[in-house]
Amino acid sequence: MQAHQGHYIDGAWRPAASASASASGPGPGSGDVIEVVNPATEEVIATVPAGTAEDVDAAVAAARSAAGAWRATSRDERLAALTRLRDGLAAQQDEISATVLAELGSPLRLARALHSTVPVAVTTSVLEVLAEFPFQEKVGNSTVYLEPAGVVGAITPWNYPLHQIVAKVVPALAAGCPVVLKPAENTPLTAQLFAEIVHHAGLPAGTFNLVTGHGTVVGAALAEHEGVDVVSFTGSTAVGRRIGAAAGRGVKRVSLELGGKSANVILPGADLATAVKVGVGNAFLNAGQTCSAWTRMLVSEADYDEAVALAAKTAERYAPGDPANPSTRLGPLVSAVQRERVRDYIGTGIAEGARLVTGGADAPEGLDVGFYVRPTVFADVEPGMTIAQEEIFGPVLSIMRYRDKEHALEIANGTAYGLSGGVWAADPAEAAAFARQMEAGQVDINGGAFNPAAPFGGYKDSGVGRELGRFGLEEFLQTQSLQF
């Protein structure tokens, strides 16, 4: 696994501006790099350039130079280029899995089943949308055209490093927009691998550009850049507010996919064993580092004790371990900072009076090396507790009791977030009726499967805008109408 010591700009790997400055003499920030750490071993496995505003300038200039020609491509030309990209992703799934395992700590089974396969499915979905998308329509005496919105600045997180890139970059390219990507500091190797696949797919120089670096430098420069027309960001709500403010000052279009504190509501009469089993798995997926995770399980008073016992038993199947072991379900968290954050939340939960059913803040037995956290289940969690209100981003589940449906809905909607959720009932229509009252952008009924063509995004502090399917493509289009 060899990292590029440069940025991918205008169709080639180019030395970072800081490296050029270092070659001509010492200067502030010259030669800066980001160390990529394996979360399971705590070893530095690679370094990548810590980009600067100058690198962003070069990438944006390349994108703007390519914008006219890419905008003018036909639907068929874009379909051909993006099909080659999709095929490249499919052909590189083994290397993608190995890279995500190494820099994110994703268990091998998850890296293969999710991190390398879902991006292929999402890209295929975008191709299907592009093939049929109506870029113009008649509205009365007007002809309305949907046009590329311009240069896109994409800022992606580390928890699903390839999926989040694909969910932004592929629809932007499909819309006719060139892209400058700034990936998360923790997982830049997956982004570099994506850039290689783009290159081999033969996309025109400048249509896709990659600058690695710190969010406070590269991310901020991208959000504020006068040459960027659209900013698409996925990450924490706190950072999203800053990105949105910076984009707003430049009157840019902005899409923000932010945090979540999703409720999994188990209604009386539902298949309790299945609902709890799937709910625990959802909360612990990707070591709990999922913005849409069902981190609050809401259970009726009559079913509560049984649900707690079932959750504790299910959690035992998620023993942390070496992500390279095919049997491991729960790997480490991405960094020491994230590990301490999650442990602090566990301590807060105990201090505020929640009942610790399993897990805890101590290091898992036999795992003194690596950023591991015990899979943790809390019971008797009250709606106002910190662990019931704030996004933890680790394998921590809060089980809460409700009196009736009205009380359950009050709890489910009682946070600042509104990204996702789940509802379980013996009658799917009953579950759907409850879900329609939830303040959430996406709700799964009785464990409904992920749909790459469905819109993904949230209400309230979970963000603005949508990704995936035609909804994701529309984020990168603007309208022009001609009246006759």
b/e per residue, 118-130, with b = 16+ CB within 10 A?
A: bbbbbbbbbbebb
396-402, strands of its sheet edge to edge: 355-358, 376-379, 396-402, 296-300, 263-266, 420-424, 442-445
- The candidate with the shortest Cα–Cα distance to 183, out of 219, 216, 152, is 219
Distance of CA 45 to the CA centre of its chain: 23
Alpha-carbon distance 400 to 98, whole Å?
38
Q: How many CB atoms lie within 10 A of CB 297?
A: 28
* Strand duo 296-300 + 396-402: pairing: parallel
Biggest alpha carbon–alpha carbon distance for the chain: 74
Alpha-carbon distance 81 to 205, whole Å?
12
Residues 6+ apart with CB under 8 A from 337: none
Residue 161 sits at the vertex; the CA angle it makes with 345 and 103, to the nearest 5 degrees, is: 75
- The candidate with the shortest Cα–Cα distance to 225, out of 172, 166, 154, is 154
Set 177, 185, 224, 291: catalytic member = 291
What does the DSSP 8-state code read for residue 483? E
Q: Is residue 257 among the annotated active site residues?
A: yes
Q: Is residue 474 among the annotated active site residues?
A: no
Are residues 266 and 400 in contact, defined by beta-carbon separation less than 8 angstroms? no
In the structure encoding, which two tokens stand for residue 451, read together?
């749909």
Q: How many CB atoms lie within 10 A of CB 53?
A: 16
Set 257, 430, 467, 475: catalytic member = 257
Dihedral, CA of residue 441, residue 447, residue 448 and residue 453, to nearest 10: 50
Alpha-carbon distance 60 to 37, whole Å?
29
Per DSSP, the three-state class of 151 is coil
Alpha-carbon distance 337 to 94, whole Å?
29
What positions carry a catalytic annotation?
Answer: 257, 291
